[in-house]
């Protein structure tokens, strides 16, 4: 890997060395709560003295160590918009890690994406073969930058970063782009919902959010809901909170789309549903759902599954859907059959049950031509 140039031009951004005119903007950006939350190595509190040290010592030291730290600037005005850099180089593998931050005033304008694309292009042109980008699971904005810049989700680095408080460690998601990857954004297995929702005028589906955790805990710890899942063990409050907190990340990585079912007339939550990719190469997904007692028997589950299936076969591009059920759950069977699913088979002892037992799984399947 050869040294990168002092200045790199990007789409609407210029990557250049830091200078002391950037001091105030750097201090403001690095003291911002969002920067502090997701970049654990930034000093806290962050002062202008820290900014001066970074500009005069930290950024030059990055290049001396085999990486680089660029100021991201507006090409027209020279104003600081953020920072992007390479760190942790592994010359033997022609690999490095890319990272960035953006000033609060410049967020939401594509600055991080443009800077990441520009630096990745320059790094590949100078011999780098592989770039890694690490994000917290709850930092969905950074994950959207990774996807827009052509990075692909690769897995989880368990306990890869210490908490700022020093009281523990947290996982990091790893996103990777190779020098010979095609240009442009990464195609997602689970695209965003049109206008952020699906609706038929009676039922509305929207992505699960962190604020839904208490509601989801009440729903998924109900005895009749627990009885119809495998294993039939109620989730902990912490697990439900994590599920809601990471819902957008799970969606972006293509693992599962978790949605809240809302009554369109009242705006009240009625339950939840989800679509997971079970076999990407075969274009197969699996659906699941649960309703709060007050909304059962009104057709909301049928409408929700129908909306979800239409989106799965349409924008998500799946070719086949399945749904696994407890053989005794006749109400769920009726929901699936009204949508067009047909009984495909009984998988004996497929699922874990209580106290080491095994449970049968009655599987339903749906093709696009069967959707009612």
Task: Indicate if 213 and 237 belong to the same structural domain.
Answer: yes
What's the CATH code of the domain at 114? 3.40.630.30
Domain of 50, in residue numbers: 8-178
Domain tally for the chain? 2
Q: Which two tokens stand for residue 187?
A: 């195609």
Task: Indicate if 137 and 201 belong to the same structural domain.
Answer: no
Task: Indicate if 199 and 170 belong to the same structural domain.
Answer: no
Q: Of 116, 147, 178, at which residue does a domain stop?
A: 178
C-alpha distance from residue 213 to each of 240, 275, 286, 344 (Å): 6, 18, 23, 34
267 within some domain:
yes
Backbone angles phi, psi at 254, to 5 degrees: 85, 15
41 within some domain:
yes
123 within some domain:
yes
Please give the chain's pLDDT, 372 residues, in tens: 678 999 999 999 999 999 999 999 999 999 999 999 999 889 999 999 999 999 999 999 999 999 999 999 999 999 999 999 999 999 999 999 999 999 999 999 999 999 999 999 999 999 999 999 999 999 999 999 999 999 999 999 999 988 877 678 999 999 999 999 998 999 999 999 999 999 999 999 999 999 999 999 999 999 999 988 888 899 999 999 999 999 999 999 999 999 999 999 999 999 999 999 999 999 999 999 999 999 999 999 999 999 999 999 999 999 999 999 999 999 999 999 999 999 999 999 998 988 889 999 999 999 999 998
Task: Indicate if 254 and 297 belong to the same structural domain.
Answer: yes
CA distance 49 to 52: 5
183 within some domain:
no
Contact 154, 48 (CB under 8 A): no
What string of DSSP letters covers 340-358? T-EEEEEEEEEEE-GGG-E
Q: SS3 of 19, please?
A: coil
188 within some domain:
no
Across the strands, what pairs with 161? 170
Task: Indicate if 218 and 364 belong to the same structural domain.
Answer: yes
Q: Which two tokens stand for residue 208?
A: 């699960």
80 within some domain:
yes
Contact 283, 313 (CB under 8 A): no
- E-strand stretches of 196-283: 198-199, 203-207, 256-263, 269-279
Question: Exposed, middle or buried, 357 (CB in 10 Å: 0-12/13-18/19+)?
Answer: exposed
82 within some domain:
yes
185 within some domain:
no
Please, what is the Cα angle at 47 between 42 and 48, to 5 degrees? 115
Q: Of 178, 204, 234, at which residue does a domain stop?
A: 178
Task: Indicate if 285 and 351 belong to the same structural domain.
Answer: yes
C-alpha distance from residue 326 to each of 220, 309, 333, 372 (Å): 16, 20, 9, 23
Closest CA to 372 of 298, 309, 325: 309
Query: pTM, whole model, 2 decimals?
Result: 0.91
What string of DSSP letters covers 318-329? -SEEEEEE-TT-
The alpha carbons of the chain give a radius of gyration, in whole angstroms, of 24
Q: Of 127, 145, 178, at which residue does a domain stop?
A: 178
Task: Indicate if 174 and 208 belong to the same structural domain.
Answer: no
Task: Indicate if 168 and 274 belong to the same structural domain.
Answer: no
Contact 68, 105 (CB under 8 A): no
pLDDT reported for residue 41: 86
Task: Indicate if 131 and 270 belong to the same structural domain.
Answer: no
Residues 6+ apart with CB under 8 A from 319: 282, 283, 284, 313, 367, 368
How many CA atoms are closer than 13 Å to the CA of 248, on its beta-carbon side?
A: 15
Residues 6+ apart with CB under 8 A from 161: 40, 134, 136, 169, 170, 172
Q: Which two tokens stand for residue 162?
A: 């210490």
Task: Indicate if 346 and 254 belong to the same structural domain.
Answer: yes
Task: Indicate if 172 and 207 belong to the same structural domain.
Answer: no
Task: Indicate if 299 and 256 belong to the same structural domain.
Answer: yes
């Amino acid at each position: 890997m050869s040294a990168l140039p002092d200045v790199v031009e990007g789409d609407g951004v210029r990557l250049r060395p830091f200078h002391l005119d950037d001091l105030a903007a750097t201090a403001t950006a690095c003291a911002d709560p969002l920067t502090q939350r997701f970049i654990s190595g930034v000093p806290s509190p962050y002062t202008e003295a820290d900014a001066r040290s970074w500009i005069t010592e930290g950024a030059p030291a990055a290049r001396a160590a085999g990486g680089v730290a660029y100021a991201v600037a507006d090409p027209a005005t020279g104003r600081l918009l953020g920072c992007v850099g390479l760190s942790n180089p592994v010359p033997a593998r022609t690999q490095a890690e890319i990272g960035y931050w953006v000033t609060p005033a410049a967020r939401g304008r594509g600055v991080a994406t443009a800077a990441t694309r520009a630096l990745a292009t320059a790094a590949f042109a100078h011999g780098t073969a592989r770039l890694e980008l690490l994000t917290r699971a709850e930092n969905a904005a950074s994950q959207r930058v990774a996807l827009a810049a052509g990075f692909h989700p690769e897995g989880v680095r368990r306990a890869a970063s210490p908490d700022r408080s020093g009281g523990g460690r947290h996982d990091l998601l790893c996103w990777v782009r190779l020098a010979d990857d095609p240009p442009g954004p990464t195609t997602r297995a689970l695209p965003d919902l049109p206008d952020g929702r699906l609706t038929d005028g009676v039922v509305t589906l929207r992505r699960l959010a962190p604020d839904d955790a208490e509601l989801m805990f009440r729903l998924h710890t109900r005895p009749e809901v627990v009885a119809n899942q495998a294993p039939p063990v109620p989730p902990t409050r912490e697990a439900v909170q994590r599920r809601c907190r990471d819902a957008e990340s799970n969606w972006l990585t293509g693992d599962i789309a978790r949605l809240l079912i809302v009554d369109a007339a009242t705006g009240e939550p009625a339950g939840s549903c989800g679509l997971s990719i079970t076999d990407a190469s075969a274009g197969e997904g699996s659906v699941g759902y649960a309703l709060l007692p007050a909304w059962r028997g009104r057709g909301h589950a049928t409408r929700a599954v129908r909306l979800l299936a239409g989106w799965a076969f349409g924008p998500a591009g799946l070719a086949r859907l399945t749904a696994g059920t407890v053989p005794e759950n006749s109400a769920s069977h009726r929901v699936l059959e009204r949508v067009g699913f047909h009984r495909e088979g009984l998988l004996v002892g497929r699922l874990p049950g209580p106290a080491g037992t095994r449970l049968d799984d009655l599987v339903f399947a749906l093709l696009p031509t069967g959707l009612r």
